[in-house]
Amino acid sequence: MIRPAGRRRKRSRSAEERVGLGPVATLVVVCWTLLAALDPTAWAEDGHELWLRFHPLPAPARVRYRSELASLVVDSPGSPTLAIARSELARGLGGLVDGPLTETASIDRDGALVLGTPGSSAVIAGLRLPLRALGPEGYLIRRARAGGHRVILIAANTDLGALYGAFRLLRLVQTDRPLDRLNIASRPRLRLRLLDHWDNLDGTVERGYAGRSLWDWDALPGRLNPRYAEYARADASIGINGAVLNNVNASALSLTGPYLRKAAALADVFRPYGVRVYLSARFSAPIEIGGLATADPMDPRVKAWWTAKADEIYRSIPDFGGFLVKASSEGQPGPQDYGRSHADGANLLADALAPHGGVVIWRAFVYADKSGEDRAKQAYVEFKPLDGRFRPNVLLQVKNGPIDFQPREPFHPLFGAMPATPLMMEVQITKEYLGRSTHLVYLGPLYGEVLTSDTFARGPGSTVARVLEEGAGSEGLSGMAGVANVGSDRNWTGSDFDQANWYAFGRLAWDPEASAREIAEDWVRMTFGDSPGFVQPVVRMMMGSREAEVDDMTPLGLHHLMARDTHYGPGPWVAGGPRADWTSVYFHRADRQGVGFDRTSSGSNAVAQYAPMAAARFASLAPGSEKTLLWFHHLPWSYRTASGRTLWHELVVRYFRGAAYVTGMRRTWWGLKAYVDAQRYADVAGRLKIQQREADWWRDASIAYFQTFSRRPLPRGYPPPRHPLEFYERRTTPPDPGD
Ligand code: BDP
């Protein structure tokens, strides 16, 4: 829409040059310009504002909120955090109601907004609010009478709680919620809500699909990119309170003096937003940067080195969060290099950090190099015997499923199996196995599915969310980490829709039982706008998008069928190479008789790692277990699925259904052009076009491949793959940008 407008303007200018513009023509031009300004497609947005997009609300809402939120009471200067909370309210509400918010020193009218803590606000102190149960990060938003006026309070025990409350009030207004009966008390249910950045020191991002690293290591600590504060602000707006700056496949250099000074500069920027800095620590750092001959956790010199390193870190980053460690995993150094256990390794670092209040987040993503054991079982086998042997400031970080961030996995058997160890769940926000930032896949339902899975560990109702929340140990640690999808791209996440996954992660880490649909709805309204004609179709499209990706890539519990290394595009034929458990054939086990990995008692018996009731569900062939059918069973091609179709027929139906969903998403999006600015509309449309091509590719390649085993014809009405299998096998996939 923009370009034709430009062309038309140009024509009228040249006409003016020739004959001069008469009054009628001037009127036409003015009217046209006004109309163009009202046409939502005539402006371009680049997505940089994320969900913190405070454009004016429709007129009736503006009028309503202007009277309900008449002024902002600033009764004490407060900390930098409180100052940010105030300026966010002023900026956000001012933008939404399209006029500056009056600031006053005391309550002088109805509709005054009072923000703060009992320490910073005499009004809040005087009201004796029930703040105790809110803890250090929670907040209360409610109506009250104070100074003879009706006011709205955002009250908390800490300034950070007040900041979270301010963002919550902004969300209410952005999504046009009524404020007349406000009474919200909210506190995060998990303590650590972290983003893990897999950022390398050379500026690349492992499995990152949104440009380069946000951290400009070369220019730090001298030059501070304004995006650092913008990033922390976005995190704070959804309750994220920590960032691990560097890749789990860590370079020891990140622990050297110069890099610690760079990390400290970032920590200074993040601090007022409540975002603490953490670092991935390389286990062999005492050798690589410490000049020691060993990194053996039992060696006193190694202990002394880590103690001194921790002291050095806390001198420059007094609120340093702690270390994230990938050790003895996928070739990374670790305690097992010295015949020591994961607990020995974790405790070494935990002891160094404990005097400063830091934590060790030890990853459970380990599987041995030459083990004959089912890969899905290995983390449990390794860690279960160590339950209770970690220091109280150690959390074990467990991926959502037992393999590796697949489109669908059953929950990890370690959830519920480590009652004496605080567990943190790790999910991927970046979509390594789900079409990178090209495919539109909303991950809220994936996170929600795992969080609400019942481990039955302490009887029915012991969902993963509860297991995480209840934590363990004297420190009561709990948490959730998301592998970040943000990068240097102007819109942060490569695709606009991937912003929703960052957003949903934050919201679910705050409240693991929140509804993925409601989160999507809020996100759409905040990010694009509030028209019901837009919001409902987009939310519907998002909500089905993950299931469609499962259907199109790994239906019925199949897993790890992506191309080798890149994990992008189909590769069910991947075989050979250095390790069996890095191949697709290892996971799908297709043969002339059937397909799937038998993990019941007749196979690897991975089901036995779950509590009996969960194990019985997974081992069952009841219709309700179909989502993980081929994860746990090897079944004949003729097996009757819940639909009454044979397994072969059902697989074909799913592949077609997945690809057809993408066609549907494209149509939906085309129909919404009038609601979206031109730039974001075109970007999403372009990505959906690629997704459609790739969905067809996945469908055809997978069917062509599995048909060589099933040797069954395609069901009637389903066209054959457009190319022979060899064509798909030869096709290369784009490399990982972080490689
Ligand atoms: C795998 C990724 C790899 C990561 C690894 C991990 O392919 O890049 O290093 O996970 O989580 O999914 O450590």
The pLDDT mean for the chain works out to 93
C-alpha 410 to ligand 1 mean position (Å): 18
Please tell me the distance from the alpha carbon of residue 491 to that of residue 214, in angstroms, as a whole number.
12
Residue 16 has pLDDT above 50, yes or no: no
Instruction: Determine the residue of 404, 431, 562, 581 to mutate for testing ligand 1's pocket, defined as the one with the most ligand atoms within 8 A of the Cβ atom.
Output: 404
Q: In this predicted structure, what is the pLDDT of residue 124?
A: 95
User: What pLDDT is stored for residue 28 in this prediction?
Assistant: 44
Taking the whole predicted model, whether its pTM rises above 0.75 is answered as yes
Distant-in-sequence, close-in-space partners of 671: CB < 8 Å, separation ≥ 6: 537
According to the model, what pLDDT value does residue 506 have? Answer: 99
Q: Is the CB of 404 under 6 A from ligand 1?
A: yes
Question: What per-residue confidence (pLDDT) applies to 43?
Answer: 64
- Closest ligand 1 atom to residue 247 Cα is 9
Q: What is the mean pLDDT of residues 177-199?
A: 97
From 365, 425, 436, 564, mutation site for ligand 1 pocket: most ligand atoms within 8 A of C-beta: 365
Ligand 1 pocket check for 560: Cβ under 6 Å: no
CA dihedral 234→316→244→499, nearest 10 degrees, is 10
Q: Is 689 exposed, middle or buried (0-12, 13-18, 19+ CB in 10 A)?
A: middle
Triad 339, 343, 344: Cα angle to 5°? 50
Among candidate residues 159, 382, 432, 496, the one labeled active-site is 432
Q: Which residue's CA lies nearest to atom 12 of ligand 1? A: 404
* Helix pair angle (300-316, 257-270), 10° resolution: 40
What separation in Å is there between the alpha carbon of 253 and the centre of ligand 1? 20
% of the chain at pLDDT higher than 70: 94
- Measured from the Cα of 399, ligand 1's closest atom is 11
* Ligand 1 pocket residue status of 367, Cβ below 6 Å: no
Q: Which of 196, 209, 244, 248 to mutate to test the pocket of ligand 1 (most atoms within 8 A of CB)?
A: 248
Q: Which of 264, 290, 207, 711 is nearest to 487 (CA)?
A: 207
| Encoded tokens for 713 | 């014809």
Known catalytic membership, residue 45: no
Any ligand 1 atom below 6 A from CB of 365: yes
- Assign 48 to helix, strand or coil: coil
d(CA 71, CA 677): 32
Strand bridging mode 423-428 / 139-146: unpaired
Residue 653: exposure state from Cβ atoms within 10 A (0-12, 13-18, ≥19): middle
Rg, C-alpha atoms of the chain? 27
Q: Is 426 in the pocket of ligand 1 (CB under 6 A)?
A: no
Task: Measure the CA–CA gap between 69 and 153, rounded to whole angstroms.
Answer: 11
Measure 350 CA to ligand 1 centroid, in angstroms.
Answer: 24
Residue to substitute in 199, 205, 207, 436 for testing ligand 1 pocket (most ligand atoms within 8 angstroms of CB) = 207
Per-residue tokens: 606: 């991975």
pLDDT value of position 4: 28
Q: Are 158 and 121 in contact (CB under 8 A)?
A: no
In whole angstroms, give the CA distance from residue 580 to residue 575. Answer: 7
Answer yes or no: is pLDDT of 22 > 80: no
Partners of 512 in beta bridges: none
Give the per-residue pLDDT at 6. Answer: 29
**CA–CA separation, 688 and 685 (whole Å):** 5
Selected catalytic residue, list 46, 330, 518, 591: 330
The first and second tokens of residue 242, run together, are: 């920590």
CA of 339 to the centre of ligand 1 (A): 24
Per-residue pLDDT tens digits for 89-118: 999 999 999 999 999 999 999 999 999 999
Phi, psi of 483 (to 5 degrees): -75, 115
**Angle between the N-to-C axes of helices 59-68 and 80-97, in degrees from 0 to 180, rounded to the nearest 10:** 140
Asked if 505 contacts 445 with a C-beta cutoff of 8 angstroms, the reply is no
For residue 276, pLDDT over 70 is answered with: yes
Ligand 1 and 206: CB distance under 6 A: yes
496 class by beta-carbon count within 10 Å (0-12 exposed, 13-18 middle, 19+ buried): buried
Residue 454: DSSP 8-state: B
The rounded distance, in Å, linking the Cα atoms of 672 and 682 is 11
* CA-nearest residue, atom 2 of ligand 1: 207
Whether 404 is catalytic = yes
- pLDDT (tens digit per residue) in 556-598: 999 999 999 999 999 999 999 999 999 999 999 999 999 999 9
**Mean predicted confidence (pLDDT) in 637-655:** 98
Return the residue matching tokens 């009731």.
Answer: 613
* Tokens (6 digits) for 623: 């219709």
Distance 426 CA to ligand 1 centre (A): 12
Instruction: Give one word for 555, left, alpha or beta, with left for phi > 0 and alpha for psi -120 to 50.
Output: beta
The answer, yes or no, to whether residue 552 has pLDDT greater than 50, is yes
Could you confirm whether 650 is annotated as catalytic? no
With 90 as the cut, is the pLDDT of residue 421 above it? yes
Residue 387 CA: distances (Å) to CA of 108, 191, 353, 473 = 58, 21, 21, 11
